[in-house]
Structure 1
Amino acid sequence: MTDSSTSNELGEAAAPTDTSSAGDSGPQGALTVLETRHLSRSVGRRLLVQDVDIQVSAGEILAVVGPSGAGKSSFLRLLNRLDEPTAGTVLLRSSDYRSIAPRELRRRVGMVMQTAFLFPGTVAANISFGPRQRGQAMAPVQIATLLERVGLSGFSDRDVGHLSGGEAQRVAVARTLANDPEVLLLDEPTSALDEASVHGVEELVQGVVRERRVACVIVTHNREQAVRLADRTMILEAGRIVRIGATREVLHDV
């Protein structure tokens, strides 16, 4: 069972852990896009996320792994204020994210959930939704180009109710990319997909991150996926960083 993506995910109080690698920054010389400082969230007496300090650079993928109930999804939801921190903060390109209007923040820090929640209607209508909310119209050629990028050429007029799980998840990624985000958050984006679709989405994510130079944080229960995708990996247990560093060093036993 994976972490819940809802705001009432409950973790347990942490015992002291080895955090000798905690606070590792991204690749040297790379531009830091996303940073957390002492980021924490508690609900009542339950500590969900505890004093997390990370930096994620442009063009980097950071995987977040850990046992069920470790606070992985709770941490991810804090990064674009779907949930509010009870201590600490997040910086987006060095600006405290509380100074950014929520709608603008979620455009710049886009999220793709475990299940693709698409609006009824066509693929094109879903992709153009975000820009339309800002009074911007996407030209058909722009939609077609984006669909080609995610491997869905010719799907503009397809009803989303007729999509496979892998196709729907690709549309969800395309809809997020239509907002031109600086950060891409992925919460178990392939957990419900078949093996072929998993590898297709992984290749898509890697390509988009490298081409667009976005900072990417992916929550995954699959350590093999972290090895395939992530430059660095953070292990969370009971809301605390146990270790963070180069993926193959952190997950050396995979």
Structure 2
Amino acid sequence: MTLPDAADARPEPPRLELAGIGRRFGAVQALDQVSLVVRAGEIVALLGDSGCGKSTLLRVVAGLESADAGTVRLDGRPVDAGVPPEARGIGLMFQDYALFPHLTVGENVRFGLGGRPRSEARAIAAGRLEQVGLAHRAESYPATLSGGEGQRVALARALAPGPRILLLDEPFSNLDRRTRDRVRADTFGLLRETGTTTLLVTHDPEEALAFCDRIALMRAGSIVQVGTGEDLYERPRSRFAARFFGDLIEMPARCRGGRLDTPFGLLAAGASPEGADRLACLRPEAIRLAEPGSGTPGRVLRRSYLGARAALEITVDGVSAPFSLAVRPDEPARPGDTVALALHGSPLIFEVDRD
């Protein structure tokens, strides 16, 4: 019997590994000890507000920016800070697409294939344009393309060399909503189909939740939590993370006998010690309208008609701020009415003095 070589049994190294990445611009610490692993075939989002460091981190990975500290590894091998993107096997796609206006669509897609035989480059470019549905625009110029078409050409160009990892920096932000939804779904569908390892920079939590395998949530130059969308939405480690992914109904409470006394009744206190002050938080979808006279009373401040649904802005005594509750459009409640509310979910619990 032939035994497998020991080297063959080793796990495949991550496609991308960042270890302790630091970058300072004057007095600003843009990146502070950032570590992240992206495995082959994964789509991972760098998510956060403007200025949190996500684009700087992407530029460090690409070789467009040098790190002051830490190591970038591709397929287990460190990449020297001076190695440019084209030598790293990295595909880049930015907000403005950066198509060359003097080149045709086909020539744009072939641009990164200069080292290949002409016939091979043409075949690869044609194949990528076919994949994005733009084979018929190969002889067109960028100025004649719609925003969605320009985005797809930029994607075809980024994928043409067969990159080890594709870096996307807010690639859909310049599209109108209707176009963005369609092009975004097509783009991530193609990335899944081709098994392209992808690192996406975005400020849109819905985009990250809908299309990415994992999310690295950033704040002030650091990654505060990494996990699946379910992890970050349902099990956030901080109020910052919880708030980033949606509205919170926040209620100060104290732990008594293993329970938290809230306007919505006694709730499980988790690991909170006896007598500890806590902030019990609920997602709005955990609240439902109940039969009149039951549950917790709330007063309707405002009603908004949104077509397929309506939204009631409701205030409840003991809750930090009014919150919005989605209801059927035929729900009769109007401003000034008192409605009954029932809880259908477990709270997120945070220490009062921690964000």
State the TM bucket, normalised to the shorter chain.
0.7 to 0.9
Residue 221 (structure 1) shift:
1.1
Question: Which residue, 74, 84, 98 being the options, matches 1:117?
Answer: 98
2:198 matched to 1:221? Answer: no
> What SS does the corresponding residue of 2:167 show, helix, strand or coil?
strand
Structure having the higher helix fraction is: 1
Provide Cα deviations, 1:29-86, integer angstroms capped at 9, x if missing partner: 7752001010111112211011111110111111111121111111111111100000
Gapped runs of 5+ residues in structure 1?
1-28
Provide Cα deviations, 1:206-240, integer angstroms capped at 9, x if missing partner: 23332332221111111111111111111111100
Q: Aligned residue for 1:212?
A: 194
Change (3 A) 1:139 1:88: closer
1:61 and 1:216 in contact (8 A); partners too? yes
Residue 97 (structure 1) shift:
1.1
2:44 matched to 1:78? Answer: no
Deviation above 4 Å: which 4+ runs of structure 1?
none
Q: Aligned residue for 1:47?
A: 29
Q: Which amino acid aligns with 1:159?
A: Y
Count of paired positions: 224
Q: Which amino acid aligns with 2:148?
A: G
Change (3 A) 1:80 1:105: farther
Q: Which amino acid aligns with 2:22?
A: S
Aligned pairs for 1:97-108 (under 5 A) are 97-98=79-80, 101-106=83-88, 108=89
Q: Aligned residue for 1:22?
A: none
Q: Aligned residue for 1:10?
A: none
Residue 135 (structure 1) shift:
4.7
Distance 2:30 2:117 in 1: 38
Distance 1:40 1:251 in 2: 28
Structure 1 range deviating more: 196-205 or 70-79? 196-205
Q: Which amino acid aligns with 1:122?
A: T
Please give the root-mean-square deviation of Cα atoms over the aligned residues, in Å: 1.9
Q: Which amino acid aligns with 2:91?
A: G
Structure 1 range deviating more: 94-103 or 172-181? 94-103
Aligned pairs for 1:14-163 (under 5 A) are 32-98=14-80, 101-106=83-88, 108-120=89-101, 121-132=103-114, 134-137=115-118, 138-163=120-145
Residue 139 (structure 1) shift:
4.7
**What TM-score, normalized to structure 1?**
0.82
Change (3 A) 1:178 1:197: same
2:13 and 2:76 in contact (8 A); partners too? no
Structure 1 range deviating more: 183-192 or 141-150? 141-150
Q: Which amino acid aligns with 1:219?
A: V
Structure having the higher strand fraction is: 2
**What TM-score, normalized to structure 2?**
0.59
Q: Which amino acid aligns with 2:15?
A: V
Bigger Rg over Cα: 2
Aligned pairs for 1:160-239 (under 5 A) are 160-239=142-221
Distance 1:146 1:135 in 2: 16
Q: Which amino acid aligns with 1:169?
A: Q
Change (3 A) 1:66 1:103: closer
> What SS does the corresponding residue of 2:133 show, helix, strand or coil?
coil
> What SS does the corresponding residue of 2:140 show, helix, strand or coil?
coil
Q: Which amino acid aligns with 2:24?
A: S
Asked which structure has the greater RCO (Cα within 8 Å, sep 6+), the reply is 1
Q: Which amino acid aligns with 1:246?
A: T
1:60 and 1:209 in contact (8 A); partners too? no
Q: Which amino acid aligns with 1:82?
A: L
Instruction: Report % sequence identity.
Output: 38
